[in-house]
Chain A
Amino acid sequence: MSAHTETSAAGAAAGQNRPATGTTLVKRGLAEMLKGGVIMDVVTPEQARIAEDAGAVSVMALERVPADIRAHGGVSRMSDPEMIQGVQAAVSIPVMAKARIGHFGEAQILQALGVDYVDESEVLTPADEVHHIDKWAFTVPFVCGATNLGEALRRIGEGACMIRSKGEAGTGNIVEAVRHLRSITGDIRRIAAAGDEAELFEWAKQLRAPLPLVQEIADTGVLPVPLFCAGGIATPADASLVMQLGAEAVFVGSGIFKSSDPPKMASAIVEAVTHFRDPDILAKISAGLGKAMAGLETAALTTKMAERGW
């Protein structure tokens, strides 16, 4: 994990034995610990228990999974605090929850509830069509979606400590997540191979991204924060694919509780993320899982959630 100026400042200010909370190191640190794991969308405490029983590293507490948000329409908001607290009481693993893009009011409430990560999410209806939340202002860490490297770096510039591909949530179709991952990791490789500083200035301009973050990628060859995958994962094979494409962990939204046997599908995806490079093990755990979620062709969608975010 790379150093950040804010980290060292907070560390120095902390001094001997005076603990510092909410620092960049502490926020990115939890994302490090979620690597190689599966974060599952749940809408009830019962589902949260099923997720934990199956080996989830964290659960995302929300009112409706993306597939149902698509089906039912209407404005989609932060979940009822009572529901989130119910999930927190039901499990011992970290609990995440979603706030609308730009809705710092919802994020403040989620922080007060003591959630472990806030997802400023395009799956909910955006609250601000220009600004994202100032995530530096919070003690709780944030994850944000991105479709390309410029978007990822703008979110990191605003204080996000974990980036996930957006994919196209609620479709059970992996094609968009693959596009986003390939775009992000491809541009990282091209920046790391840049010839001189002048090329980095151009990259920052093209990507509409903060120059220091572009320079950091040129030095390290990796995104400054963990890169996870979300949006359209429905099978163990999908999880293996995105892990091999450079994702460091996966979020599964509708893919588990819209399948015919959620506990079985959940365990299988957990094992697939661990053994993502071992086709023999993957063949074994992919067998006899019942029906995966039905899925949607992205060309036929009227709402593209991935286009939300600026």
Chain B
Amino acid sequence: MKPRIGVLALQGGFAAHGAILDKLGARTDEVRTPRQLAEVDALVMPGGESTTMSMLLERSELLEPLSERLNAGMAVLGTCAGMILLAREVVDGRADQHSLGMVDITVRRNAYGTQIESFEADIDVDGLESPFHAVFIRAPVVERAGPGVEVLARHEERPVLCRSGRVTVAAFHPELSGDERLHARFLADL
């Protein structure tokens, strides 16, 4: 039986993740409720507005079950806002913003500035033979990565792709540039 990949669909770029995973032949389900979360084997947490997603996690009663699944070792790919939600510490967030604390990193929200500073650039990723074209949209910056965190890619010295156990987080949007390699790797590692 192929694993079922959930895409957290409270808000944000979930459709683009779903499209890539479908193309790679994965079984995908959108997750908006605790019941839907219980039915998936792994999860993608997309980009979007982290403050909005944090509130919707709480109001949709997903915060606790999600935290339990994460601590039980569910594989997760978090991009941009997903990275912010999975980080141990958030700088420049809202005081009431939830941190799931799964990756020992400190991230600063919107660290590059407004949308005018958003950019695309090629980055070298550990284990990939050619550069990955990365899109950064009002992206967070990883200001600190703990000793247990594997840094898989950097842009201008700053970590932009990190892994800790079964949790992978990216400051950029692998779902937007048409390069399927990071999603393929996520599926292969399940």
Is the CB–CB distance between A36 and B11 below 8 Å? yes
Is the CB–CB distance between B118 and A29 below 8 Å? yes
What 1/0 mask marks residues of chain B from 7 to 37 whose CB sits below 8 Å from any chain A CB? Answer: 0011111111000000000000000110000
Is the CB–CB distance between B11 and A1 below 8 Å? no
Is the CB–CB distance between B109 and A92 below 8 Å? yes
What is the size category of the interface that chain A forms with chain B? 35 or more
Residues of A within 8 A of B48 (CB): 33-37, 57
Q: Which of B125-170 contact A (CB under 8 A)?
A: 131, 133, 135-138, 155-156
B53–chain A nearest beta-carbon distance, Å:
9
A303 at the interface (CB under 8 A from B): no
With CB as the reference atom, state the residue of chain A lying closest to B58: A55
Instruction: Report the Cα distance A33→B138, complex, angstroms.
Output: 10
B181 at the interface (CB under 8 A from A): no
Q: Contacts A22-B116, A55-B52; is A36 near B12 (CB within 8 Å)?
A: yes
B56–chain A nearest beta-carbon distance, Å:
6
Is the CB–CB distance between B176 and A25 below 8 Å? yes
B71 at the interface (CB under 8 A from A): no
Is the CB–CB distance between B122 and A15 below 8 Å? yes
Q: Contacts A94-B115, A140-B115, A274-B60; is A20 near B109 (CB within 8 Å)?
A: no
Is the CB–CB distance between A94 and B120 below 8 Å? no
With CB as the reference atom, state the residue of chain B lying closest to A38: B52
Is the CB–CB distance between A36 and B9 below 8 Å? yes
Q: Which of A47-97 contact B (CB under 8 A)?
A: 52, 55-58, 92-95
Residues of A within 8 A of B80 (CB): 33
A289 at the interface (CB under 8 A from B): no
Residues of B within 8 A of A21 (CB): 116-119
B157–chain A nearest beta-carbon distance, Å:
11
What 1/0 mask marks residues of chain A from 110 to 147 whose CB sits below 8 Å from any chain B CB? Answer: 01001111000000000000000000000111000000
Instruction: Report the Cα distance A30→B116, complex, angstroms.
Output: 11
Q: Contacts A30-B115, A32-B16; is A92 near B122 (CB within 8 Å)?
A: no
Instruction: Report the Cα distance A26→B117, complex, angstroms.
Output: 10
Instruction: Report the Cα distance A93→B49, complex, angstroms.
Output: 7
Is the CB–CB distance between A114 and B114 below 8 Å? yes
B65 at the interface (CB under 8 A from A): no
Residues of A within 8 A of B47 (CB): 32-33
Instruction: Report the Cα distance A57→B10, complex, angstroms.
Output: 12
Is the CB–CB distance between B52 and A275 below 8 Å? no
Instruction: Report the Cα distance A64→B116, complex, angstroms.
Output: 26
A152–chain B nearest beta-carbon distance, Å:
19
Is the CB–CB distance between A52 and B121 below 8 Å? no
Instruction: Report the Cα distance A139→B115, complex, angstroms.
Output: 9
B10–chain A nearest beta-carbon distance, Å:
5
B40–chain A nearest beta-carbon distance, Å:
17
B113 at the interface (CB under 8 A from A): yes
Q: Contacts A29-B137, A33-B48; is A117 near B115 (CB within 8 Å)?
A: yes
B123 at the interface (CB under 8 A from A): yes
Is the CB–CB distance between B51 and A115 below 8 Å? no
A11 at the interface (CB under 8 A from B): yes
B173 at the interface (CB under 8 A from A): yes
Q: Contacts A1-B16, A35-B48, A275-B32; is A30 near B55 (CB within 8 Å)?
A: no
Beyond A32-B16, A114-B113, 4 additional pairs, beta carbon < 8 A: A11-B120, A19-B120, A35-B13, A37-B52
